[in-house]
Structure 1
Protein backbone atom coordinates (compact mmCIF):
# COMPACT_ATOMS: atom_id res chain seq x y z
CA UNK A 1 0.00 0.00 0.00
CA UNK A 2 1.40 3.32 -1.02
CA UNK A 3 0.80 6.37 1.15
CA UNK A 4 -0.85 9.53 -0.05
CA UNK A 5 1.27 12.44 -1.22
CA UNK A 6 2.28 14.57 1.75
CA UNK A 7 3.09 18.26 1.86
CA UNK A 8 6.72 19.03 2.49
CA UNK A 9 7.58 20.31 5.94
CA UNK A 10 10.68 21.57 7.68
CA UNK A 11 11.78 20.33 11.10
CA UNK A 12 10.72 23.74 12.46
CA UNK A 13 7.21 23.32 11.04
CA UNK A 14 6.98 19.81 12.49
CA UNK A 15 8.17 21.08 15.89
CA UNK A 16 5.56 23.85 15.82
CA UNK A 17 2.82 21.34 14.91
CA UNK A 18 3.97 19.06 17.75
CA UNK A 19 3.96 21.92 20.25
CA UNK A 20 0.41 22.89 19.25
CA UNK A 21 -0.76 19.27 19.58
CA UNK A 22 0.85 18.88 23.01
CA UNK A 23 -0.74 22.13 24.22
CA UNK A 24 -4.16 21.01 22.99
CA UNK A 25 -3.66 17.58 24.59
CA UNK A 26 -2.78 19.13 27.94
CA UNK A 27 -5.96 21.19 28.00
CA UNK A 28 -7.91 18.25 26.64
CA UNK A 29 -6.69 15.99 29.45
CA UNK A 30 -8.18 18.46 31.92
CA UNK A 31 -11.54 18.27 30.14
CA UNK A 32 -11.43 14.47 29.91
CA UNK A 33 -10.43 14.10 33.56
CA UNK A 34 -13.26 16.39 34.64
CA UNK A 35 -15.75 14.42 32.53
CA UNK A 36 -14.60 11.23 34.29
CA UNK A 37 -14.80 12.87 37.72
CA UNK A 38 -11.03 12.90 38.20
CA UNK A 39 -8.12 15.30 38.10
CA UNK A 40 -5.31 15.00 35.54
CA UNK A 41 -2.91 13.24 37.92
CA UNK A 42 -5.57 10.67 38.82
CA UNK A 43 -6.36 10.15 35.12
CA UNK A 44 -2.69 9.64 34.33
CA UNK A 45 -2.37 7.11 37.15
CA UNK A 46 -5.52 5.36 35.97
CA UNK A 47 -3.87 5.06 32.57
CA UNK A 48 -0.95 3.22 34.19
CA UNK A 49 -3.41 0.92 36.00
CA UNK A 50 -5.19 0.13 32.73
CA UNK A 51 -1.90 -0.40 30.92
CA UNK A 52 -0.79 -2.94 33.55
CA UNK A 53 -4.18 -4.69 33.46
CA UNK A 54 -4.10 -5.02 29.66
CA UNK A 55 -0.55 -6.40 29.85
CA UNK A 56 -1.66 -8.84 32.54
CA UNK A 57 0.96 -7.50 34.91
CA UNK A 58 0.39 -6.85 38.60
CA UNK A 59 0.85 -3.22 39.59
CA UNK A 60 1.96 -2.47 43.13
CA UNK A 61 1.15 0.90 44.65
CA UNK A 62 4.87 1.62 44.88
CA UNK A 63 5.30 0.82 41.19
CA UNK A 64 2.50 3.25 40.39
CA UNK A 65 4.25 5.92 42.46
CA UNK A 66 7.44 5.34 40.48
CA UNK A 67 5.75 5.40 37.07
CA UNK A 68 3.83 8.56 37.92
CA UNK A 69 6.85 10.10 39.68
CA UNK A 70 4.80 10.70 42.81
CA UNK A 71 5.52 10.05 46.45
CA UNK A 72 3.88 7.03 48.04
CA UNK A 73 1.83 9.46 50.13
CA UNK A 74 0.56 11.20 47.02
CA UNK A 75 -0.31 7.84 45.46
CA UNK A 76 -2.34 7.00 48.55
CA UNK A 77 -4.49 10.06 47.82
CA UNK A 78 -4.75 9.10 44.15
CA UNK A 79 -5.86 5.58 45.07
CA UNK A 80 -8.40 6.90 47.55
CA UNK A 81 -9.92 9.04 44.79
CA UNK A 82 -9.81 6.24 42.18
CA UNK A 83 -11.53 3.90 44.60
CA UNK A 84 -14.16 6.49 45.51
CA UNK A 85 -14.86 7.08 41.80
CA UNK A 86 -15.08 3.31 41.21
CA UNK A 87 -12.17 2.99 38.78
CA UNK A 88 -9.79 0.85 40.85
CA UNK A 89 -9.34 -0.88 44.17
CA UNK A 90 -6.51 -2.13 46.33
CA UNK A 91 -5.85 -5.72 47.21
CA UNK A 92 -3.11 -7.46 49.16
CA UNK A 93 -0.30 -8.94 47.07
CA UNK A 94 -0.58 -12.70 47.51
CA UNK A 95 3.22 -13.06 47.28
CA UNK A 96 3.97 -10.36 49.85
CA UNK A 97 1.19 -9.30 52.21
CA UNK A 98 3.07 -6.07 53.00
CA UNK A 99 2.60 -4.91 49.41
CA UNK A 100 -0.62 -3.55 47.96
CA UNK A 101 -1.67 -4.14 44.37
CA UNK A 102 -3.79 -1.71 42.42
CA UNK A 103 -6.51 -3.47 40.45
CA UNK A 104 -8.68 -1.91 37.77
CA UNK A 105 -12.42 -2.07 38.37
CA UNK A 106 -14.26 -4.33 35.95
CA UNK A 107 -16.12 -1.52 34.22
CA UNK A 108 -13.34 1.10 34.35
CA UNK A 109 -12.04 0.59 30.83
CA UNK A 110 -15.57 0.66 29.40
CA UNK A 111 -16.35 3.91 31.26
CA UNK A 112 -13.17 5.52 29.99
CA UNK A 113 -13.73 4.35 26.41
CA UNK A 114 -17.10 6.10 26.45
CA UNK A 115 -15.11 9.33 26.61
CA UNK A 116 -11.98 8.37 24.65
CA UNK A 117 -13.70 6.11 22.09
CA UNK A 118 -14.65 8.76 19.52
CA UNK A 119 -11.11 10.15 19.62
CA UNK A 120 -9.60 6.67 19.12
CA UNK A 121 -11.95 6.08 16.20
CA UNK A 122 -10.87 9.35 14.56
CA UNK A 123 -7.20 8.54 15.10
CA UNK A 124 -7.80 5.08 13.62
CA UNK A 125 -9.34 6.69 10.55
CA UNK A 126 -6.36 9.02 10.33
CA UNK A 127 -3.95 6.06 10.43
CA UNK A 128 -5.93 4.49 7.59
CA UNK A 129 -4.61 7.30 5.37
CA UNK A 130 -1.03 6.11 5.92
CA UNK A 131 0.85 3.16 4.49
CA UNK A 132 2.30 0.61 6.93
CA UNK A 133 5.81 1.95 6.32
CA UNK A 134 4.63 5.46 7.15
CA UNK A 135 2.95 4.27 10.35
CA UNK A 136 6.21 2.54 11.29
CA UNK A 137 8.03 5.87 10.90
CA UNK A 138 5.41 7.66 13.00
CA UNK A 139 5.60 5.02 15.74
CA UNK A 140 9.41 5.11 15.68
CA UNK A 141 9.42 8.89 15.91
CA UNK A 142 7.02 8.94 18.87
CA UNK A 143 9.03 6.24 20.67
CA UNK A 144 12.32 8.03 20.14
CA UNK A 145 10.85 11.47 20.91
CA UNK A 146 9.47 10.11 24.19
CA UNK A 147 12.97 8.90 25.14
CA UNK A 148 14.39 12.33 24.30
CA UNK A 149 11.67 14.03 26.35
CA UNK A 150 12.26 11.67 29.28
CA UNK A 151 15.99 12.40 29.22
CA UNK A 152 15.39 16.14 29.00
CA UNK A 153 12.91 16.08 31.88
CA UNK A 154 15.39 14.16 34.04
CA UNK A 155 17.95 16.92 33.39
CA UNK A 156 15.40 19.63 34.19
CA UNK A 157 14.35 17.92 37.43
CA UNK A 158 17.96 17.41 38.46
CA UNK A 159 18.76 21.11 38.03
CA UNK A 160 15.51 22.56 39.38
CA UNK A 161 15.90 24.92 42.34
Structure 2
Protein backbone atom coordinates (compact mmCIF):
# COMPACT_ATOMS: atom_id res chain seq x y z
CA UNK A 1 0.00 0.00 0.00
CA UNK A 2 1.38 3.37 -0.96
CA UNK A 3 1.05 6.26 1.45
CA UNK A 4 -1.34 9.12 0.90
CA UNK A 5 -0.04 12.46 -0.29
CA UNK A 6 1.09 14.47 2.73
CA UNK A 7 1.61 18.21 3.08
CA UNK A 8 5.19 19.36 2.77
CA UNK A 9 6.91 20.28 6.03
CA UNK A 10 10.33 21.47 7.04
CA UNK A 11 12.20 19.97 9.98
CA UNK A 12 11.50 23.21 11.86
CA UNK A 13 7.75 22.85 11.27
CA UNK A 14 7.89 19.22 12.37
CA UNK A 15 9.76 20.20 15.56
CA UNK A 16 7.22 22.92 16.28
CA UNK A 17 4.37 20.43 15.82
CA UNK A 18 6.16 17.95 18.09
CA UNK A 19 6.72 20.61 20.76
CA UNK A 20 3.01 21.49 20.72
CA UNK A 21 2.08 17.81 21.00
CA UNK A 22 4.49 17.26 23.91
CA UNK A 23 3.14 20.31 25.74
CA UNK A 24 -0.42 19.06 25.33
CA UNK A 25 0.64 15.59 26.46
CA UNK A 26 2.26 17.01 29.61
CA UNK A 27 -0.90 18.86 30.55
CA UNK A 28 -2.96 15.83 29.60
CA UNK A 29 -0.94 13.55 31.88
CA UNK A 30 -1.97 15.73 34.83
CA UNK A 31 -5.64 15.40 33.86
CA UNK A 32 -5.38 11.64 33.27
CA UNK A 33 -3.52 11.09 36.54
CA UNK A 34 -6.12 13.10 38.44
CA UNK A 35 -8.94 11.13 36.81
CA UNK A 36 -7.26 7.92 38.00
CA UNK A 37 -6.68 9.32 41.50
CA UNK A 38 -2.90 9.50 41.03
CA UNK A 39 -0.18 12.06 40.52
CA UNK A 40 1.90 12.18 37.34
CA UNK A 41 4.90 10.38 38.85
CA UNK A 42 2.69 7.56 40.11
CA UNK A 43 0.97 7.32 36.70
CA UNK A 44 4.35 7.15 34.97
CA UNK A 45 5.49 4.38 37.30
CA UNK A 46 2.21 2.53 36.77
CA UNK A 47 2.92 2.70 33.05
CA UNK A 48 6.27 1.01 33.61
CA UNK A 49 4.55 -1.72 35.66
CA UNK A 50 1.95 -2.25 32.92
CA UNK A 51 4.70 -2.40 30.27
CA UNK A 52 6.68 -4.99 32.24
CA UNK A 53 3.56 -7.05 32.87
CA UNK A 54 2.65 -7.00 29.16
CA UNK A 55 6.20 -8.17 28.35
CA UNK A 56 5.87 -10.99 30.88
CA UNK A 57 8.88 -9.76 32.80
CA UNK A 58 8.71 -9.15 36.54
CA UNK A 59 9.68 -5.63 37.55
CA UNK A 60 11.69 -5.29 40.73
CA UNK A 61 11.16 -2.16 42.81
CA UNK A 62 14.80 -1.18 42.24
CA UNK A 63 14.35 -1.53 38.49
CA UNK A 64 11.29 0.71 38.69
CA UNK A 65 13.35 3.29 40.57
CA UNK A 66 15.96 3.20 37.82
CA UNK A 67 13.44 3.49 34.99
CA UNK A 68 11.61 6.34 36.67
CA UNK A 69 14.87 7.96 37.78
CA UNK A 70 13.72 8.04 41.39
CA UNK A 71 15.41 7.04 44.60
CA UNK A 72 14.41 3.73 46.13
CA UNK A 73 12.85 5.69 48.99
CA UNK A 74 10.71 7.69 46.56
CA UNK A 75 9.64 4.47 44.81
CA UNK A 76 8.54 3.08 48.16
CA UNK A 77 6.17 6.05 48.46
CA UNK A 78 4.97 5.54 44.88
CA UNK A 79 4.30 1.85 45.55
CA UNK A 80 2.48 2.65 48.79
CA UNK A 81 0.18 5.02 46.88
CA UNK A 82 -0.33 2.62 43.95
CA UNK A 83 -1.22 -0.20 46.35
CA UNK A 84 -3.57 2.03 48.35
CA UNK A 85 -5.32 3.07 45.10
CA UNK A 86 -5.59 -0.58 44.04
CA UNK A 87 -3.33 -0.38 40.98
CA UNK A 88 -0.34 -2.47 42.04
CA UNK A 89 0.88 -4.97 44.57
CA UNK A 90 4.25 -6.15 45.79
CA UNK A 91 5.37 -9.75 45.94
CA UNK A 92 8.63 -11.03 47.37
CA UNK A 93 11.14 -12.27 44.80
CA UNK A 94 11.17 -16.06 45.18
CA UNK A 95 14.93 -16.21 44.54
CA UNK A 96 16.10 -13.15 46.50
CA UNK A 97 14.30 -12.24 49.71
CA UNK A 98 15.79 -8.72 49.63
CA UNK A 99 13.91 -7.85 46.43
CA UNK A 100 10.24 -7.32 45.73
CA UNK A 101 8.47 -7.51 42.41
CA UNK A 102 5.84 -4.96 41.50
CA UNK A 103 2.77 -6.46 39.83
CA UNK A 104 -0.31 -4.84 38.40
CA UNK A 105 -3.52 -5.44 40.29
CA UNK A 106 -6.19 -7.52 38.59
CA UNK A 107 -8.50 -4.73 37.47
CA UNK A 108 -5.91 -1.97 37.19
CA UNK A 109 -5.29 -2.27 33.47
CA UNK A 110 -9.02 -2.18 32.79
CA UNK A 111 -9.37 0.95 34.95
CA UNK A 112 -6.50 2.64 33.11
CA UNK A 113 -7.88 1.67 29.70
CA UNK A 114 -11.24 3.22 30.59
CA UNK A 115 -9.42 6.56 30.59
CA UNK A 116 -6.81 5.91 27.88
CA UNK A 117 -9.05 3.78 25.64
CA UNK A 118 -10.68 6.61 23.66
CA UNK A 119 -7.29 8.21 23.06
CA UNK A 120 -5.78 4.91 21.89
CA UNK A 121 -8.78 4.40 19.59
CA UNK A 122 -8.18 7.82 18.02
CA UNK A 123 -4.51 6.99 17.54
CA UNK A 124 -5.43 3.65 15.94
CA UNK A 125 -7.63 5.54 13.47
CA UNK A 126 -4.77 7.92 12.80
CA UNK A 127 -2.27 5.09 12.22
CA UNK A 128 -4.77 3.41 9.89
CA UNK A 129 -4.39 6.44 7.62
CA UNK A 130 -0.70 5.59 7.10
CA UNK A 131 0.89 2.81 5.09
CA UNK A 132 2.88 0.12 6.94
CA UNK A 133 6.09 1.71 5.58
CA UNK A 134 5.04 5.11 6.95
CA UNK A 135 4.19 3.62 10.34
CA UNK A 136 7.63 1.97 10.37
CA UNK A 137 9.22 5.38 9.73
CA UNK A 138 7.16 6.91 12.56
CA UNK A 139 8.12 4.12 14.96
CA UNK A 140 11.77 4.48 14.00
CA UNK A 141 11.65 8.24 14.46
CA UNK A 142 9.96 8.01 17.88
CA UNK A 143 12.51 5.42 19.03
CA UNK A 144 15.47 7.46 17.84
CA UNK A 145 14.00 10.74 19.13
CA UNK A 146 13.52 9.14 22.55
CA UNK A 147 17.19 8.10 22.59
CA UNK A 148 18.25 11.62 21.56
CA UNK A 149 16.07 13.07 24.32
CA UNK A 150 17.54 10.66 26.89
CA UNK A 151 21.07 11.70 25.88
CA UNK A 152 20.17 15.38 26.10
CA UNK A 153 18.55 14.95 29.51
CA UNK A 154 21.61 13.10 30.79
CA UNK A 155 23.75 16.06 29.70
CA UNK A 156 21.38 18.52 31.40
CA UNK A 157 21.41 16.50 34.62
CA UNK A 158 25.22 16.28 34.74
- After TM superposition, the score normalised by the length of structure 1 is 0.97
Q: Structure 1 unaligned runs (5+)?
A: none
| CA deviation vs aligned residue, 1:23-52 (integer Å, no higher than 9, x gap) | 000000000000000000000000000000
Q: CA RMSD in A?
A: 0.4
- After TM superposition, the score normalised by the length of structure 2 is 0.99
State the alpha-carbon separation in 2 of the partners of residues 105 and 84 from structure 1: 11
| CA deviation vs aligned residue, 1:69-121 (integer Å, no higher than 9, x gap) | 00000000000000000000111100111111111101111000000000000
- Return the offset for 1:14: 0.2
- 1:123 corresponds to which residue? 123
Alignment of 1:8-157 (within 5 A): 8-157=8-157
| CA deviation vs aligned residue, 1:3-33 (integer Å, no higher than 9, x gap) | 1110000000000000000000000000000
Matched residue of 1:110: which SS? helix
State the alpha-carbon separation in 1 of the partners of residues 18 and 59 from structure 2: 31
Matched residue of 1:106: which SS? coil
Q: Structure 2 unaligned runs (5+)?
A: none
State the alpha-carbon separation in 2 of the partners of residues 136 and 55 from structure 1: 21
- Return the offset for 1:68: 0.2
- Tell me which stretches of 4 or more aligned residues in structure 1 moved more than 2 Å: none
